[in-house]
Amino acid sequence: MSTAADTADVVIVGGGPAGSALALALAGAQRRVLVLEARAAASTEYRPLALSHGSRLFLQRLGVWPQLSAAATPIRRIHVSQRGGFGRSQLEAGELAVPALGYVIDYGLLSAALAQAAAQVADYRSGVSVSDWTAGEPALVSVERVGAAQQWSAELLVIADGSGAADVKTVDYGQCAVTARVTCDQAAGDIAYERFTPEGPLALLPDRGQWALVWTVAPARAQQLCELDDAGFCAELQQAFGRRAGRFTAVSHRASHPLQLRRSARQALQHTVLIGNAAQTLHPVAGQGFNLALRDVAVLARQVLEEPQELGSLRWTARYLAARESDRSTMAGFTHGLVRLFSNDIAPLAAARGTTLSMLGSLPPLKKFLARRMTFGPRG
C-alpha cells in the first residue's frame, strides 16, 4: 500500500453546512484550506431547518444568502401550546424588532448551496471519506482507498463530520424525529406552530406554502408512522395536532432521525478543534443545532483571522473552547430542560408546563429575553 503525504494550513473534515460555512468564512485568511467531504453528491434528505435571524445575518455576510433566500420561508409568528393542557404563548417578529423570527430552509438545499460556494474559495473534495484523524503537532488526517492511503497534515484540523470523537457524553432521549412535508387544505403562511404532546414536541413550520413537519415520538411509533399509508399518516397527524392549521391532505416521503444529546469532551486538543454537530448534537425541539454551529464557525474564523500567531497551539485551541463554552452549555442545558419538561405525561409537570407557557405569555420581558437568546445567541 502506498502512502502519499500532503499539507494544508487548515483541513476541514466534513463539508456539510458547518464545514462549508467555515471554508467560506476563511476566504480572506490567506490560508490553504482543504475540505474533505465523504458524500459524492449533495444530500437529498428532506430535513427542515429553522434558521434564526442571527444566522441569516451571518449567511448574508458570507455572501451566500442571495442563493438561499428564494428557498427560505420567513417565520413571523410562533405559536406554542400543549395538547390537553392550559397555557399557550405567541411570539411575533415585531416584538423583537426583526423582519422575521427565523427562516425555514431544507437541509439538502442549504448544504448544497454552501458546498458550492465553499468550492469557489477552498479546495473542496467530495467523495473523500476520512478514516482516521489524530490531534498532535501536526494534526493528521488519513483517507483510505482501495490499494492506497493518503495522509494530510494540518496546522489547524477542524472536525465538522457531524459525529466527532469517540469520547463523547451521550444522553439517549429514546425518541425519534419524523420529518416530512405536509400539504393542507389551507396554504401555510408565516406562522410556525410548536405543540408539546406527552410523546414529544410536534413542530409545523411553513415551507413555501406547505408545512414542514418535525414530530418527535418513541422509536417504535416513529417506525409505525413511517410505514403508514399517506391517508393514515394524515389522520394520525390531525389527531395529534388538531385543526388549527386546517385539514392535512397529503404527505411526502417520511424520514426518522434518532435523537440524542451528545457533547464532546471539553479539554483542548493540539492543532484540532471540533465544530457543529461534531462538538455538540442537540435535540431539535428548539431548532438550535445549526444556529449554534454557525456561531462556532463565526468565532473560529474570527480567531484564525485575528490571532494567526501560534495557530492551533494548545493555548490557541483552549482560547477557542473557552470562547464557546458558555453559549454551548446554555443551549445544551436549555434544550435538554425543554425536552425533559415537555416530553412526558406526569401531572405536576403538565401543570408546570402550563404555568411556564402562561408566564411567557404574561411576562413579555422574559419572553423577549429568551427569544433574543435563541435568535442571536449569548449576546442577544
Residues engaged in binding ligand FAD (CB under 6 A): 13-19, 36-39, 47, 49-50, 107, 129-130, 160-162, 177, 179, 214, 257, 276-278, 284, 287-291, 293
CB 292 to ligand FAD: min, Å: 7
Q: How far is the CB of 290 from ligand FAD (least distance, A)?
A: 3
- Do 138 and 10 contact (CB within 8 A), yes or no? no
Nearest to 106 by CA among 44, 191, 57: 44
Distance, CA of 154 to chain centre: 26
Q: How far is the CB of 260 from ligand FAD (least distance, A)?
A: 10
Q: How far is the CB of 294 from ligand FAD (least distance, A)?
A: 8
Indicate the residue among 222 and 350 with the shorter CB distance to ligand FAD: 222
- Please say which residue, 47 or 271, places its beta carbon nearer to ligand FAD: 47
Minimum gap (Å) between residue 365 Cβ and ligand FAD: 25
Of residues 259 and 350, the one with the C-beta less far from ligand FAD: 259
**Smallest distance, ligand FAD to C-beta of residue 91, A:** 15
| Kind and range of the H or E run holding 142 | strand 139-145
Q: Which secondary-structure segment (H or E) carries 197?
A: strand 191-197
Report the alpha-carbon distance of residue 111 to residue 234 in Å, rounded: 29
Nearer to ligand FAD, 338 or 350 (CB): 338
Residue number, 262 or 353, with CB nearest to ligand FAD: 262
Which CB sits closer to ligand FAD, 18 or 23? 18
Q: How many residues does this entry show for the chain?
A: 380
| 243 Cβ neighbours under 8 A, 6+ residues apart | none
Q: Which residue in 269, 247, 90, 281 sits closest to 177, CA to CA?
A: 281
User: Which distant-in-sequence residues (6+ apart) come within 8 Å of 270 by Cβ?
Assistant: 135, 136, 137, 139, 312, 313, 314, 317
> What angle is formed at CA 267 by the lines to CA 58 and CA 17, rounded to 5 degrees?
30
Three-class SS state of 42: coil
- Helix spans in the chain (H): 17-25, 53-61, 65-69, 107-121, 219-227, 230-241, 289-306, 314-342, 347-362, 364-376
Q: Which is nearer to ligand FAD, 14 or 74 (CB)?
A: 14
Closest separation between CB of residue 107 and ligand FAD, Å? 6
Give the residue with the Cβ less far from ligand FAD, 152 or 248. 152
Task: Give me the phi and psi of 74, to 5 degrees please.
Answer: -70, 140
Smallest distance from ligand FAD to CB 251, Å: 16
